[in-house]
């Protein structure tokens, strides 16, 4: 019986099962979050956000050629690259599990028996397929993100070191170490998470060379492994670039040579040093030194993939994050400077007093002939600091969260124990263990659960156990049972994994310790190292898939534990078969069945259609201001790949403060001419006018924006204020701003149609909402001043209100975008509701927009579900406006379109709330049947949700989800009044009875 052939064949079987699964459930186009940026950048070889992923871009670019020129298929084939990389991960995971299993149960030189072969193959199948169908890994496998390829690199590296271990006594075994080194270097160009496997690799090497280690030496090796990780993370990735930058600074600024000369010298010096060191190690027979130097050389070879970013930056592509075309920009890029620093082992709390500012370094930028000073790096000096600061952010939303979560009053100063408590309970418990349980115990829904409470919780399906945590589970509501992410694993994957871990530690504690080290370093250690703030933009479970990978190894080895402990009375062959078959049913089959619907994206294309909608609803040659990832990255994809509306200039306000980004806006991109920016580079270059604070000069009247711009750009000391250190800064002297409107101009450019000529305002007057003017806002002022209404200006509706800089009363909703129009204030909509421009909005909703198949798609993740509510709100707002204006026929068409587009079921409470206002409009249209049906459906949903929350409240003897209870009851009461108003007495009475019954159940908890 040829073990090797069977092992290879079974591994490829796992590969094909995984690949088929991922391709069948693959997103057919662009996804939300970073995918749009990665696809666009890969297709046109551009520069993505830090720390960069050049290998991903190159591989995805190759896959894009499979589209054979059909640009609409580019995203699909890049998604396929993730699917195949993920399937490759499963392949190498299978071989890793079988290698560990074989090593553990088979003595050296022992002939493998049929029973042991069955057990080993069963272990590989169960563990590999369990990981294949795990929630977090599956999610990344069907979209063009970096995590699929990152996981593949980790899997290859771990498999490679085990391959070395099995051949370590052979003459050429060390080639496997060099293979591992090169793969780790390659992985740097994909994602840095792979480096966390270094400690595990070092321990495998050490245990092979020292079969009987002492505890003292194990501790030493652990310290060495941490130092090795730090050497690669900081020494190679960051300090090599830092040394190169400093060499270039010396050669350019001191010796007067050209840019890049110092880098070339440094590279030659590095190459010569490595060559000499390797030659010396060979000549002196210093094997360890030779391995270390070769390992370093191959790591650097792999890391050299970043050179493509420098090459492409010189080409000035449309997406050119940080413009890393020179040494200092590239250093800033790999250091992730724009994201700032977070305290790790020692630092401030959120309410530590700031007593001073100290300089920590100097910033340089590339000038015309030499590097110029761009400012200084600085940090606050705090009156008090603590060890292990976990609650450090002084942003108001974070401070409120810290205090509410920990129960602190305003005067409390967090101690070391407070920070540790927060780290274990929230950062580790809520933001890691919850993800772990999602993958191996079960998941309640796809709602964001970062803030705790009942959203986004883990749920096993074992109701008595779930009830202990979450309260009475007798009447689970639609928000859970109808949620695609309602996955119940009944603890089975966790139990099998724990059996595998215990069995592994009993049979081979050294290998088990290595897997445990990998598990900790790619899980809890990341939590500690990242020290993340609360309220992230989205759930971050994808960051911990390495930890879940390690646990999947133990799930596989759990087959051997089952065989030894549960089926020991059977013959060895039957025991292996029974254990394998039982574990396959209990883990991968169960996980696949439960997880298929919430990972099947084959019918949904929300991100794609939303991106196209943003662009297609703009007038020709428009300027579209975006803000967040999900209203920017998919739009970049649509323009850069599918060439949708190349005349529209997309401006991301999140990047607007960077000089390199402003440089790009002053160039032509696609078919979009440069923006009307008059600022000269020296007026906005890095370190100049980064922040200009508001100082009230008591100016009552509104001041022309052009005059304010002159003050902000003035080099006259009279227009500046002097700081404590003697430096002078421009300031904003008033928040009352004005832009005079030339009626002929706005009519000639088509900004305002001729029929609305009487609505044109003499001037746009508004109050700026910020306390300071950032560089981006300065450029926005410049665009508003000098655009002369030649290019239509839009803002996406999804951004925070403060990004509108106070222009709200001139921003008219036309669908997904708000159009800046110089019209007189509409007093009829001065109650806080969005201003609506009904004619273009009607056309967009009826004729222009695609809706991503939200009505029938099998998969709607949280963002897509939110977009259902967003689209519903658009229809509701427009319908109300049309009825107010007496346009009943148009209103009926919009109502019919709503029912064609919006799903029949409710996905979130937000959708229920949105439906209420639409129902009110249906009553106003006298569409009583559909209005009553929607009211009944809403009331039924609310009744089920509140019945569940009442059950939970009674079982926990405290009010559960107070905000949800309050909102649902409020809208149920409004439904009673609404049906009364429109004389639907029978329905109204029914709703009133329902409301009273629910009020009675919640009354005992009113005080809580």
Alpha-carbon distance of 811 to 491, in angstroms, equals 52
Alpha-carbon distance of 197 to 206, in angstroms, equals 15
Q: Between β-strands 623-626 and 649-652, what pairing exists: parallel, antiparallel or unpaired?
A: parallel
pLDDT at 859: 63
Residues 6+ apart with CB under 8 A from 814: 617, 794, 837, 840, 841, 844
pLDDT at 830: 47
> Which token pair is 445?
């829904």
> Which token pair is 948?
């569940």
pLDDT at 725: 63
Closest CA to 779 of 685, 914, 877, 883: 685
Looking up tokens 């977070």, which residue turns up? 342
pLDDT at 364: 85
pLDDT at 827: 53
Question: What share of the chain in percent tops pLDDT 90?
Answer: 69
How many C-beta atoms surround the C-beta of residue 787 within 10 A?
A: 19
The kind and range of the H/E element at 356 are strand 354-366
Rounded to 5 degrees, what angle do the CA atoms 817, 823, 824 make? Answer: 130
Closest CA to 82 of 139, 41, 127: 139
> Which token pair is 774?
């950032």
How many C-beta atoms surround the C-beta of residue 616 within 10 A?
A: 19
The kind and range of the H/E element at 763 are strand 763-767
Write the DSSP symbol of residue 694. Answer: B
**Band of residue 208 on the pLDDT scale cut at 50, 70, 90:** confident
What's the chain's average pLDDT? 91
pLDDT at 829: 52
| Region of poorest pLDDT, from 186-190, 827-831, 859-863, 934-938 | 827-831
Alpha-carbon distance of 815 to 805, in angstroms, equals 20
> Which token pair is 501?
């871990």
pLDDT of 441 higher than 60:
yes
The kind and range of the H/E element at 944 are helix 928-956
pLDDT digits (tens, 9 = 90+) for 632-643: 999 999 999 999
CB 504 within 8 A of CB 557: yes
Classified as helix, coil or strand, 740 is: strand
pLDDT of 4 higher than 70:
yes
> Which token pair is 980?
């009364």
| Region of poorest pLDDT, from 58-62, 119-123, 278-282, 654-658 | 654-658
If you average pLDDT over residues 373-402, what whole number do you get?
Answer: 88
Question: What share of the chain in percent tops pLDDT 70?
Answer: 98
pLDDT digits (tens, 9 = 90+) for 805-825: 999 999 999 999 999 999 987
Alpha-carbon distance of 20 to 28, in angstroms, equals 15
pLDDT digits (tens, 9 = 90+) for 148-160: 999 999 999 999 9
If you average pLDDT over residues 918-927, what whole number do you get?
Answer: 94
DSSP-assigned beta bridge partners for residue 364: 373
Helix axes 147-166, 198-209, angle to 10 degrees: 0
pLDDT of 1007 higher than 70:
no
pLDDT digits (tens, 9 = 90+) for 837-846: 999 999 999 9
> Which token pair is 488?
């119940």
Alpha-carbon distance of 522 to 550, in angstroms, equals 9
pLDDT at 69: 92
If you average pLDDT over residues 705-731, what whole number do you get?
Answer: 83
Cis peptide before 208 (omega within 30 of 0): no
pLDDT at 896: 95
pLDDT at 1: 63
pLDDT of 860 higher than 80:
no
pLDDT digits (tens, 9 = 90+) for 413-435: 999 999 999 999 999 999 999 99
Alpha-carbon distance of 660 to 656, in angstroms, equals 9
| Region of poorest pLDDT, from 307-321, 585-599, 898-912 | 898-912
CB 915 within 8 A of CB 868: no
pLDDT of 569 higher than 60:
yes
């Amino acid at each position: 019986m040829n073990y090797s052939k069977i092992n290879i064949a079974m591994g490829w079987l796992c590969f094909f099962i995984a690949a088929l699964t991922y391709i069948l459930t693959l997103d057919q186009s662009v996804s939300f979050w970073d995918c749009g940026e990665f696809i666009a950048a890969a297709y046109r070889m551009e520069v993505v956000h830090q720390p960069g992923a050049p290998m991903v871009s190159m591989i995805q670019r190759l896959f894009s050629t499979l589209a054979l020129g059909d640009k609409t298929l580019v995203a699909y084939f890049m998604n396929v690259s993730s699917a195949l990389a993920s399937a490759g991960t499963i392949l190498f995971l299978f071989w890793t599990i079988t290698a560990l299993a074989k090593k553990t149960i088979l003595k050296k030189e022992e002939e493998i028996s049929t029973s042991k072969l069955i057990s080993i193959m069963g272990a590989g199948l169960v563990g590999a397929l369990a990981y294949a169908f795990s929630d977090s890994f599956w999610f990344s496998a069907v979209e063009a993100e970096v995590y699929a390829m990152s996981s593949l690199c980790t899997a290859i590296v771990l498999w490679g070191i085990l391959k070395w271990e099995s051949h370590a006594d052979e003459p050429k075994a060390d080639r496997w170490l060099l293979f591992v080194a090169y793969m780790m270097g390659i992985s740097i160009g994909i994602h840095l998470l792979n480096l966390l496997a270094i400690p595990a690799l070092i321990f495998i090497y050490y245990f092979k060379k020292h079969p009987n280690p002492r505890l003292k030496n194990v501790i030493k090796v652990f310290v060495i492994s941490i130092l090795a990780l730090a050497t690669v993370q900081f020494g190679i990735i960051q300090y090599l670039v830092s040394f190169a930058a400093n060499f270039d600074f010396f050669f350019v600024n001191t010796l007067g040579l050209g840019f890049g000369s110092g880098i070339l010298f440094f590279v030659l010096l590095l190459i010569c040093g490595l060559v000499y060191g390797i030659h010396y190690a060979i000549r002196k027979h210093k094997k360890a030194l030779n391995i270390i130097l070769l390992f370093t050389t191959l790591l650097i070879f792999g890391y050299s993939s970043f050179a493509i970013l420098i090459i492409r930056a010189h080409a000035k592509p449309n997406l050119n994050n940080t413009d890393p075309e020179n040494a200092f920009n590239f250093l800033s890029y790999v250091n992730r400077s724009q994201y700032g620093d977070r305290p790790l082992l020692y630092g401030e709390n959120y309410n530590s007093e700031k007593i001073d500012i100290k300089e920590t370094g100097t910033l340089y930028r590339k000038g015309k002939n030499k590097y110029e000073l761009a400012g200084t790096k600085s940090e606050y000096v705090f009156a008090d600091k603590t060890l292990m600061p976990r609650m450090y952010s002084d942003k108001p939303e974070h401070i409120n969260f810290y205090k509410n979560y920990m129960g602190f009053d305003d005067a409390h100063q967090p101690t070391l124990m407070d920070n540790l408590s927060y780290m274990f309970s929230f950062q580790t418990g809520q933001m890691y263990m919850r993800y772990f349980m999602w993958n191996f115990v079960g998941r309640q829904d796809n709602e964001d659960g970062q803030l705790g409470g009942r959203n986004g919780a883990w749920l096993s399906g074992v109701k008595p156990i779930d009830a202990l945590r979450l309260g009475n589970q007798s009447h689970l509501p639609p928000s859970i049972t109808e949620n695609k992410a309602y996955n119940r694993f009944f603890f089975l994957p966790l139990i099998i994994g724990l059996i595998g871990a215990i069995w592994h530690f009993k049979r081979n504690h050294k290998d088990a310790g290595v897997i445990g080290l990998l598990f900790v370093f790619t899980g809890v250690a990341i939590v500690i190292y990242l020290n993340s703030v609360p309220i992230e933009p989205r759930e971050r479970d994808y960051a911990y898939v390495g930890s879940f990978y390690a646990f999947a190894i133990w799930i596989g080895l759990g087959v051997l534990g089952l065989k030894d402990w549960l089926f020991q009375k059977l013959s060895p062959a039957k025991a292996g078969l029974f254990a394998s078959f039982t574990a396959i049913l209990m883990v991968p089959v169960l996980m696949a069945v439960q997880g298929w619907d919430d990972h099947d994206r084959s019918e949904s294309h929300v991100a794609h259609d939303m991106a196209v909608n943003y662009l297609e609803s703009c007038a020709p040659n428009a300027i579209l201001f975006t803000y967040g990832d999900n209203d920017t990255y998919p739009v970049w994809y649509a323009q850069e790949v599918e060439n949708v509306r190349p005349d529209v200039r997309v401006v991301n306000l999140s990047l607007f403060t960077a000089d390199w980004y402003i440089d790009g806006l002053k160039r032509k991109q696609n078919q979009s001419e440069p923006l009307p920016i008059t600022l000269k580079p020296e007026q906005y270059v890095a370190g100049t006018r980064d922040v200009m604070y508001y100082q009230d000069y008591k100016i009552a009247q509104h001041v022309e924006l052009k005059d304010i711009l002159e003050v902000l750009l003035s080099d006259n000391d009279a227009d500046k204020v002097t700081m404590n250190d003697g430096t002078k800064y421009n300031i904003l002297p008033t928040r009352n701003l004005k832009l005079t409107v030339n009626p002929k101009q706005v009519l000639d450019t088509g900004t305002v149609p001729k029929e609305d000529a009487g609505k044109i305002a003499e001037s746009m007057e508004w109050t700026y909402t910020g306390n300071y003017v950032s560089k981006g806002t300065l450029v926005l002022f410049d665009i508003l001043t000098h655009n002369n209404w030649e290019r239509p200006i839009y803002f996406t509706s999804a951004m925070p209100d403060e990004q509108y800089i106070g222009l709200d009363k001139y921003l008219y909703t036309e669908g997904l975008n708000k159009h800046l129009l110089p019209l007189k204030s509409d007093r009829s909509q001065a109650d806080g509701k969005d201003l609506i421009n009904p004619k273009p909005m009607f056309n967009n909703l009826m004729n222009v927009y695609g809706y991503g198949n939200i009505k029938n798609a099998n998969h709607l993740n949280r963002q897509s579900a939110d977009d259902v509510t967003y689209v519903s709100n658009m229809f509701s707002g427009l319908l109300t406006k049309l009825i107010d204006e007496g346009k009943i026929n148009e209103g009926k068409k919009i109502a019919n379109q709503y029912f064609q587009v919006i799903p029949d079921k409710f996905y979130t409470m937000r959708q229920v709330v949105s439906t209420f206002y639409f129902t009110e409009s249906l009553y106003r249209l006298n569409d009583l049947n559909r209005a009553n049906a929607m009211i009944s459906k809403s009331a039924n949903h609310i009744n089920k949700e509140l019945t569940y929350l009442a059950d939970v409240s009674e079982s926990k003897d405290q009010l559960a989800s107070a905000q949800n209870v309050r909102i649902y009851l409020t809208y149920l009461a409004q439904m009673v009044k609404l049906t009364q108003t429109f004389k639907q007495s029978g329905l109204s009475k029914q709703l009133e009875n329902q409301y009273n019954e629910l009020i009675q159940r919640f009354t005992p908890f009113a005080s809580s």
